[in-house]
Amino acid sequence: MRERPVVMIDVARLAGVSHQTVSRVLNHQPNVKPATRERVLEAVRQLNYRPNAMARGLAGRRSRVLGVVSFDTILYGPAATLLGIEQAARAAGYGVSVATLERIDHDGVVSALGALADQSVAGVVVIAPQAAAAAALRTMPKSTAAVAVEADANGEIPAISVDQVSGARMAVEHLLSLGHRKVWHVSGPRDWLEAQGRIEGWRSTLGDAGLAAPRPIAGDWSARSGYAAGLELASRDDVTAVFAGNDQMALGMMRAFHEHGIRVPADVSVVGFDDIPEAEFLSPPLTTIRQDFDEVGRRCIAALLRVIDNGQPERLTHSAVDPLVTPTLVVRQSTAPLRGAAGPGGMTPGPALRATG
Amino acid sequence: MRERPVVMIDVARLAGVSHQTVSRVLNHQPNVKPATRERVLEAVRQLNYRPNAMARGLAGRRSRVLGVVSFDTILYGPAATLLGIEQAARAAGYGVSVATLERIDHDGVVSALGALADQSVAGVVVIAPQAAAAAALRTMPKSTAAVAVEADANGEIPAISVDQVSGARMAVEHLLSLGHRKVWHVSGPRDWLEAQGRIEGWRSTLGDAGLAAPRPIAGDWSARSGYAAGLELASRDDVTAVFAGNDQMALGMMRAFHEHGIRVPADVSVVGFDDIPEAEFLSPPLTTIRQDFDEVGRRCIAALLRVIDNGQPERLTHSAVDPLVTPTLVVRQSTAPLRGAAGPGGMTPGPALRATG
DNA sequence: AACGAAGCTGTTATCGCTAACAGGCCAATT
DNA sequence: AATTGGCCTGTTAGCGATAACAGCTTCGTT
């Protein structure tokens, strides 16, 4: 014997009006006498009435829920982006439904998109910065409102991105300014657009300085792959500076260096990417490129709501939302001048290390 | 001019049946002739029909979306739990809607719960292991299906938890077995139930061994707070073993030790909690307690679906849902015997360190 | 042969809202 | 005084499904 939930007609009766007037008040429509409006709101309060989202969506042909497709929400970047999106969406009065990709291929994206469509979401944000995912977006019915993070689907749908190229440029220029002439790169998976952008920024910056880019070493964002890359680099004698594709790989790499008696930054300078919360407390504290994921989330929602309101995907209206978020360089202690004062007293030498053996 | 979406009646017409028969086929009801069923399914395929979730929910008075209330989805634990829940929910045919808490107090939980209720979720998982959140759960209308992670709301709603006490016990026993007689603890925030459980396990294990527990040092899960705790401990001379409340704090603490020339594990042994993916690649690789978040997610969904199907919150049916997930000890190189062979060649001494000064 | 009990299908009513239209009222215009 | 056009409000139809009931077969039984 469960009590019937309060519905709009109950409010209408209590306020002595029709249910349509209640609807008008709730949807902030004009043309309701202030006194009536107040009476309705009072009834709403008194009954603790909450409109039924499903009925509302069914009648109005729109829902107040946005979908987010993401891959590996444990990675710092996607997790932080998801949080930013969720907060921005909530501020705009929308709920957020998530669908995580188990596979990262075309079908995986299609199926995740389908799962969200089945929940009648009003629009979708896709955080799946792989080439395959970007391709899958193009197969999406154009009636679906969508924006992508870090996926330039050929202008098919709006894309919000951090300026990876410029971030990589900052990292490399920082190392060059310290006197390093050869900058290695441990990249993310080649099918990730971020990885591609960072490779491009790294390579072009070296090129602009008249330097050749060595072969990039491929990782998979994980600390484990950074460790593997570190082992490879440790076996060479021409390594003084490395730009890692993200902080986790930098962490793993520094572990490998440590095991081989290679000192950071005295022997090798390391720059990461992301500025994870732990970066400041690694040994040594990591110089890295910070991305503003909250800003990414905010711009995603702003762009998505615009698409929803227009009823049409906006085509290249880049004037409205600047799609590129600028990252910033955070200098800590994992970078030092090439052959700079080798002993203590040099430039930002980091904390003293003691021998352990 | 947008094309009308395919609805059930379209399928019915194409298959030459009534819409109700289509509904029966789609809901796997019996009493449909196999030939008819096949005809309907063929029509569904041909039109690429997808049922409208809102209409379905409105008519059937139930939705296929579950809500998750979480705090700080960037923290490893909540993020991993969320992922586990999402995957288990999808496997059960449910979508997942998230609401992140901006504030961690009573009102924050109530408002997040309300936001989810407005989306007509069928049930809610609350990942908000604070005492305040647990209290808020009790104010929830009992008609709402809900389960909590790590929050024993006095048996009001089912709770899925990792056995924090036993995890802490493993950590401390490991340190005791290495000969340490005084084990410090850097705890999480006191209002987090996990933090309380780990403190309890730590204290009782020491008690069982006839040892007194020093005053725990309070952190906030962040590497920064671990660093601060590390500075405090570094100023003492009676520190040989520390059990950190999580891996991030262990990381920050080790950084502080490093800056003060305190070697891990030669001078101080450190145990963390969580086994974040990076733990293996810290310097030194971190001994820690692993939690199985996927299992937590699976049990959450299982319990929640049971509540939904019963139509009533199950009261203390702990026999049905095994409430405690057992963590495991992962031994790496941040722990060593007390005063064990002080030089190289000792037991798991970790990689050699070189002087850097 | 007649009967009830299944099995299969269709018709109608609802779910709780918003959209569209249809008024009633009152001030401002002709 | 009659007409116009805003305001405000109510009535009636849907939205696209499921629930409940009813009707028609087709069996197996007595």
**What is the full per-residue pLDDT of chain B (357 aa) written as tens digits?**
456 889 999 999 999 999 999 999 999 998 899 999 999 999 999 999 999 999 999 998 788 999 999 988 888 999 999 999 999 999 999 999 999 987 778 888 888 898 899 899 999 999 988 877 878 887 777 778 889 998 765 667 888 999 999 999 999 999 999 999 999 999 999 989 999 999 999 999 999 999 999 999 999 999 999 999 999 999 999 999 999 999 999 999 999 999 999 999 999 999 999 999 999 999 999 999 999 999 999 999 999 998 888 765 545 444 445 678 999 999 999 999 997 533 333 344 334 333 333
List the structure tokens of B62. Answer: 């139930």
Residue of B28, B21, B5, B128 whose CA lies nearest to B69: B128
In strand C, which positions have an atom below 7 A from any protein CB?
A: 7-12, 14-20
B259-288 tens-digit pLDDT: 999 999 999 999 999 999 999 999 999 999
Chain B contact for A285, CB < 8 A? yes
Chain A contact for B90, CB < 8 A? yes
Rg of chain B, C-alpha, whole Å: 26
Asked if residue A52 keeps its beta carbon closer than 7 A to nucleic acid strand C, the reply is: yes
A67-116 tens-digit pLDDT: 999 988 888 999 999 999 999 999 999 999 999 987 778 888 888 898 89
Residues in CB range of A124: below 8 A, 6 or more apart: A66, A67, A68, A69, A113, A116, A144, A145, A146, A147, A304
CATH 3.40.50.2300 segments of chain A: 65-161+293-324, 164-291
Nearest Cα residue in chain A from B277: A223
The secondary element (H helix, E strand) that includes residue B124 is strand B123-127
Place of tokens 């490129």: A289
Measured CA to CA, the distance from residue A117 to residue A99 in angstroms comes to 11
CATH 1.10.260.40 segments of chain A: 8-51
β-pairing verdict for B324-325 and B65-71: unpaired
**How many residues would you count in chain A?**
357
Architecture of domain B65-157+296-325: 3-Layer(aba) Sandwich (3.40)
CATH 3.40.50.2300 segments of chain B: 65-157+296-325, 164-291
Give the SS3 label for residue B184: strand
- The answer to whether the beta carbons of residues B193 and B216 sit under 8 Å apart is no
Q: Report the largest interatomic distance among the alpha carbons of chain B, rounded to a whole angstrom.
A: 85
Q: What is the pLDDT of residue A178?
A: 97
Asked if residue B342 keeps its beta carbon closer than 7 A to nucleic acid strand D, the reply is: no
Partners of A99 on chain B (C-beta within 8 Å) are 86, 90, 95-96
Chain A contact for B38, CB < 8 A? no
Measured CA to CA, the distance from residue A144 to residue A62 in angstroms comes to 12
β-sheet bridge partners, residue A130: A192
A236-273 tens-digit pLDDT: 999 999 999 999 999 999 999 999 999 999 999 999 99
Cβ <8 Å between A76 and B76: no
Measured CA to CA, the distance from residue A173 to residue A290 in angstroms comes to 15
CA angle B168, B171, B175 (to 5 degrees): 140
Q: Edge-to-edge strand order for the sheet containing B95-101? A: A324-325, A159-162, A146-149, A123-127, A65-71, A95-101, B95-101, B65-71, B123-127, B146-149, B159-162, B324-325
Give the mean pLDDT of A177-202. 96
Distances (CA, A) of A264 to A20, A171, A348: 70, 16, 12
- Which residue among A58, A278, A281 sits closest to B54, beta carbon to beta carbon? A58
Give the SS3 label for residue B81: helix
Asked if residue A56 keeps its beta carbon closer than 7 A to nucleic acid strand C, the reply is: yes
Nearest residue by alpha-carbon distance to C1' of C7:
B31
Give the SS3 label for residue B251: helix
pLDDT at A354 over 50: no
A268-294 tens-digit pLDDT: 999 999 999 999 999 999 999 999 999
Q: What is the pLDDT of residue B349?
A: 37
Distances (CA, A) of B177 to A67, B166, B273: 50, 16, 18
Q: Which of A8, A90, A281, A310 to mutate to test the interface with B (most CBs of B within 10 A)?
A: A281
Burial class for B138, CB neighbours closer than 10 Å (0-12, 13-18, 19+): exposed
- The answer to whether the beta carbons of residues B136 and B110 sit under 8 Å apart is yes
Distances (CA, A) of B149 to B69, B133, B157, B213: 10, 11, 10, 28
Residue of A222, A209, A230, A249 whose CA lies nearest to A75: A222
Chain B nearest C-alpha distance from A69 (Å): 12
Q: What is the pLDDT of residue B354?
A: 37
β-sheet bridge partners, residue A67: A97, A124
Selected residue with higher pLDDT from A129 and A212: A212
Give the SS3 label for residue A145: coil
- Indicate if the alpha-carbon torsion angle A273, B249, A350, B349 is positive or negative: negative
User: How many Å from the CA of A105 to C1' of C13?
Assistant: 46
Distances (CA, A) of A156 to A6, A179, B302: 44, 43, 40
DSSP A17-75: S-HHHHHHHHTT-S---HHHHHHHHHHHHHHT----HHHHHHHHT--SEEEEEEE-TTS
CA angle A270, A240, A356 (to 5 degrees): 75
Q: Which CATH class is domain B164-291?
A: alpha beta
Residues in CB range of A149: below 8 A, 6 or more apart: A81, A125, A126, A127, A129, A159, A160, A161, A296, A300
User: How many Å from the CA of A32 to C1' of D2?
Assistant: 29
Chain B contact for A229, CB < 8 A? no
Residue of A4, A9, A1, A10 whose CA lies nearest to A47: A10
Measured CA to CA, the distance from residue B61 to residue A315 in angstroms comes to 39
The phi and psi torsions of B356 (rounded to 5 degrees) equal: -120, -15
CA dihedral A229, A73, A143, A296 (to 10 degrees): -80
Question: Which residues 127-146 of chain A have a CB within 8 Å of chain B?
Answer: 143
Q: Which CATH class is domain A8-51?
A: mainly alpha
List the structure tokens of B194. Answer: 């996990």
Amino acid code (one letter) for A145: A
Partners of A80 on chain B (C-beta within 8 Å) are 74
Chain A nearest C-alpha distance from B204 (Å): 31
- The listed CATH number (3.40.50.2000, 3.30.2130.10, 3.40.50.2300, 3.40.50.300) that belongs to domain A65-161+293-324: 3.40.50.2300
Cβ <8 Å between A280 and B120: no
